[in-house]
Chains A and B, each alone.
Chain A
Amino acid sequence: MELICPAGTPAAFREAVDAGADAVYCGFRDETNARNFPGLNFTREELGASIAYGKARNVQTYVALNTFMRAGAEQLWYTAADNAVLLGADALIVADLALMAYIAESHPQQRLHVSVQASASNADAINFLVQTFGAKRLVLPRVLTVGDIAALAPKVACELEVFAFGGLCVMAEGRCSLSSYATGLSPNMQGVCSPASHVRYREDGEEMVSELGGYTINRFGADEPAGYPTLCKGRFHIANDEGYAFEDPVSLDVMEHLDALRDAGVTALKIEGRQRGKAYVAEVVSRLRQALAATPEQRPALLAHLRRLSEGQRTTAGAYEKKWR
């Protein structure tokens, strides 16, 4: 299986390549991708240089254009696609149907991958995208069990990529307006979830309080491991009880199911984390690269350390295991 690795900066890109990535995915410095964070991402020049760095080492570059085109501003996305093609991207990762149509028509030779944000979670949906836009690969939403994926793979006419490690969307991707409900900014439109501009941390006695758009997302005790201030991993009051309504602060780790995913016919494993530092990218990529070559017995020792870099310093196999539901 291929290892698809994140890069938010050219430095992280080089780390990912050097640590053993088969492909690195990244985005431009604007709202055309879903990690539109301050100080992150690539200029055209940086992308060109990074693609060259990868090519020289036999590593592919995927360019994420995985937000939905803002009505009236579609040209921004079309131009980004044109530029990525011109710079030599090996694949474009796309969520918006009309952007897929544009790429299929204007750049028929360009390899098209369907983003997780498109939320295609069954064979009919996937085959619709393959037939209509010539998609070569689909990134599956984190709503299927390993068994579901094994049942799905023989029925679809494209490669499948799954998230293996890193941030965990609790909600079906591309169909979540929780962030914009609280802040006015969303993954689908602005390429941000729980944007930094609306995050506030404050001390309240011994506790650290995280707020998003004025809503309290969590209160952490003095040395309690913390997570991102995302709504789906917040602690709330429900029915006279207090707790994590949707999911704890935790990251995804499905390396335990590596062999099952391979047997299921999965082509590529994706690591989340374009917003993370280059040290994280280097560490996670090299460990996962080793784990792919290791025996199942050797893997836990290789991966245990990664838990400490994760949200809440914990990991879960999430929706890949039926009991999570």
Chain B
Amino acid sequence: MILPKAISQPISRLPLPVIQQGARLVFNQMLRQHPTLFDRLGNHATKSFRFTPADLDLTFLIVPAGRSITVSRKSARMHADASAGGPLLTLLALLEGRIDGDAMFFARSLSISGDMEAMLALRNALDDSGFDLPRDLGKAAGPFAPLITRLAEMVRQRALVGLV
């Protein structure tokens, strides 16, 4: 399920530093609230993971051990050990463990490449972490709170009917 243009275009048009700031906020909050992520990631925490939402002109590069997240436009070809791409709602639903990554892969809604061991470790770590966008971020999301709440609602609606 691709985001409606009414949502995706404004996000894509935001200046990179603004998105970077929001992404860092989400990412740090996630790592703070779910330290067990690192336990399941093991050595793979030092690897770099790239996530590219199909419906946004953005790509996110994270290194869990370095607690770093870098946002850039798709045209910037950043190296990553492992990469995943798919509709933003699919990626967010995976982050929350609301859908099954294997099923998304079988359905070709999710593409993956690079270090599959690292990707699998991250998937399993996220799946167990019980991450919950609106609950975990709460007011910490600041100006992004309404957007995150809206996306989370969409994830939930879609996940329920198994269409994400």
In angstroms, how far is the closest chain B Cβ from the Cβ of A42? 10
With A275-B102, A309-B100, A313-B106 as known contacts, state yes or no: A197 contacts B117, CB within 8 Å: yes
Beta-carbon contacts under 8 Å, B89-124 to A: 97-103, 105-108, 111-113, 116-124
Cβ contacts under 8 Å, B44 to chain A: 38-39
Contact B128 A10 (CB under 8 A): yes
In angstroms, how far is the closest chain A Cβ from the Cβ of B130? 6
Contact B106 A227 (CB under 8 A): yes
Which residue of chain B has its CB nearest to the CB of A309? B103
With A224-B108, A277-B127 as known contacts, state yes or no: A39 contacts B122, CB within 8 Å: yes
B24 close to A (CB within 8 Å): no
Cα A226 to Cα B118 in complex, Å, equals 20
Number of interface residues of B (CB under 8 A): 34
Contact A310 B100 (CB under 8 A): no
B17 close to A (CB within 8 Å): no
Which residue of chain B has its CB nearest to the CB of A284? B100
> Residues 46-60 of chain B: 1 if any A CB is under 8 Å from the residue's CB, otherwise 0?
000000000000000
Beta-carbon contacts under 8 Å, B74-90 to A: none
With A201-B113, A311-B106 as known contacts, state yes or no: A39 contacts B100, CB within 8 Å: no
Which residue of chain B has its CB nearest to the CB of A10? B128
> Residues 196-225 of chain A: 1 if any B CB is under 8 Å from the residue's CB, otherwise 0?
110111110000100000000000100111
In angstroms, how far is the closest chain A Cβ from the Cβ of B128? 4
A44 close to B (CB within 8 Å): no
Cβ contacts under 8 Å, A38 to chain B: 42, 44, 117-118, 120-121, 124
Cα A182 to Cα B46 in complex, Å, equals 28
User: Which 8 pairs across A and B sit closest by C-beta, in order of nearness?
Assistant: A39-B124, A39-B121, A280-B100, A9-B128, A38-B121, A277-B100, A196-B116, A309-B103
Add 11 more A-B contacts to A12-B128, A39-B41, A208-B108 (CB < 8 A): A9-B124, A11-B129, A37-B124, A38-B124, A39-B44, A39-B123, A40-B120, A201-B113, A226-B108, A277-B97, A310-B106
